Structure 1
Amino acid sequence: MNVTWIEVARMFELYGKKSGAKIRTKRSNSKHLQFDQYVDYTTLMGMMSQIVEKDKEVARVVHLTPRTAQNRSIVALELQSDRQSKKPGILIIGALNAMAWGAPNAIMELADRLLYDSNYQTPYFNDYDWYLIPMANPDGLEFSKGLRQLPPVDATMWSRNVTARFKTRPTVWHKNIDTEASDVCFGTNINRNFAFHWQDDVHKMPERCSQYYPGTKPFSTAEAQALRAYLEKMGDVIDLAIHLHASFVPKKEYILFPWRYSTRLPSNFRTLQAIGEYSARHARLPDGRLYEVHQSSNDNRVAGSISDYVSGVVGTDLVYLIKPYYPQFPNYTDSKIIEVYAKKAITAILSLVRGWRSSTKLNTLYFFGKEVEF
């Protein structure tokens, strides 16, 4: 069932007239929301406000600081079915890359299911605390979408040549849009800006015009600073962290784990591999393929990433990078693209949770001496 944004607001208004318990058993799996438009920053803020207003006993919005170059705040939606008890925490960060347009849609659809779909209450919502950051690079996302109708020019040429920017767009834009004094080029790749083995993957810093420019120093971007502050505040609350990204190469879709900066294997790589493979088997792609599961650096080394930072500095044991395929500058009116990406992303996320439970026997019941997974 496709639902417009006006209908979304009406649904929240309707739910708000019911008790919290009834809200979370109202809809069946077959009638969950499927957003047929891209979530922009204004819509995201409105949706979060509606959720908290109507369901404040289980939902809370946190505005991360500092604000971005264009004065936007990165927002976290925290979902806790019971604030009195400590449960395992799951962190999901989306749209750190400005081309991952579908990530906010997928994360907000997941939030909708956790809150209002009875089929997702157990084991997903009731057994975990969820910390969702749908749009970690709001400036970059709004910037890239705003240029979508213009003809493309090589990204490096577009960045260097101010004249080339007239009525054109870069072929890709992976960065935010911060600026430095007297620079023609602008923007920093936030996922190269975290202080964990920063720049260990290169002999020479990429130039300012590059889509992989990591900043003048670690945490030079407001976005990375805001995420660091939030992660520091969370401490050991997070047990499973997922960076929802996108693969921009058809039929190359991944579930990856640290390290990204090095080919050295993490101490718990067997657990990470096993859970990832479980997820891949249970999140089979629409054409029958499986996600490729391996260490992130198997394809190429990337230093200063958020996944390595969460693993190496924050100390979270289970950290994954999910990359379902998503076209760059897709047809903006084709809602099927959003629907397919969101379905793949949500299935992979929940399969990782199930894989984690399976590895700890949390989703196993015993009948007549036999293990039965639910």
Structure 2
Amino acid sequence: MYSYAATVEPWLEFASRRVAGNLTLNFSVAGGLELPACERATSINLHVGHLRLPPAGSFAALASLSIVGARMQGGDFEAVCSPRCPRLRRLAVRSVTLVGGAADVSVRSGSLEWLVFMAQGVGRLEVAAPRLRYFRAEAKAAAGDVSDVSVASPVLEDVAWYGEFDPRRHRFAEAGHRLRKLMVMDMPTAALMRRFYIVDELVLSFGISPGIRGYKTFLNATSMIAKCEVLEVQVTTRRHAFSSAVLHLLRKSVGVAKLLIRLPRMGNKSCTEGCPCSLTDSCNTDKIQLDSLKEVEILEFQGEFNQMKFINLLLDCQAPILKKVYVRIPKDVKSISNTKSKKIRSIIDGHPEIDVEFKLWS
């Protein structure tokens, strides 16, 4: 039986002794492929089916390593640890499956600054990187269990977490409570805002499950919002009232100077009867105090009446120093009817103290 690995590996061995810049491999080899040590390569990109990293040898010049779509052993990551990769600054692991049961992964590096780790089959992920600033992770265990994750970095400043965050099993040792940027990408991740509760830029990007239970879960998960200067909201509400959801987030927000909101397509379908998103008080703006808000940017405005209703509610909030609101219309919106144009004009005229700009966004 013909073996691609037997053909490829001699070429890899040849390349490992000569490549002094970028090495890219993009293919699948049955039975697995072992990457030889490449002392002179500065960047390696691997998109392979089965991969083994070498048990010995040095990657002395390697600064960036990307592994995508591979099946590999958790212990292989020891190959990217110091001192075998003394210059490694960026490590990206995406859509990787660890074989052999729940695997323990250890990434220890004195030079690593940027880490993306998205893998399945992880029993425990341990990261010890004193220079690590940028961290993205989704560590899935086998059979739907929750992985243990420990990250030790005193200079961590930019974090995004995908999937469930459990403070009992997911720990950030040595890091303070303040970040430059925090991205909450799933509803179960909202608990991360209790670990990092002061951030310069906060991104809330998740969906609210349908039904009363789904909305109550959203309310409970966001009962505390990290204090931030820039707040970006990308919430998919699914029949829930978008205005109610965003106004709830604003009630819980503190210190927001710039607000960026991406509008979904809202339509006219109503939520389940009795859902909290439908209560009259959910759209009451009287107690929403945005004392620090100076600028608002609204994206994906399609001219829907519910979108205009939301903008009007937002401008009714108590924001004494708000001076500029940008409303971006996507380029695929060919035209807006005269009726809607008049409604837009009434919104602008109704708030003369605020400069509201509707503009086509290319």
Structure 1 or 2: larger helix share? 1
Give the TM-score of the pair, scaled to structure 1. 0.26
TM-score in terms of structure 2 length: 0.27
User: Larger relative CO (CA 8 A, sep 6+): 1 or 2?
Assistant: 1
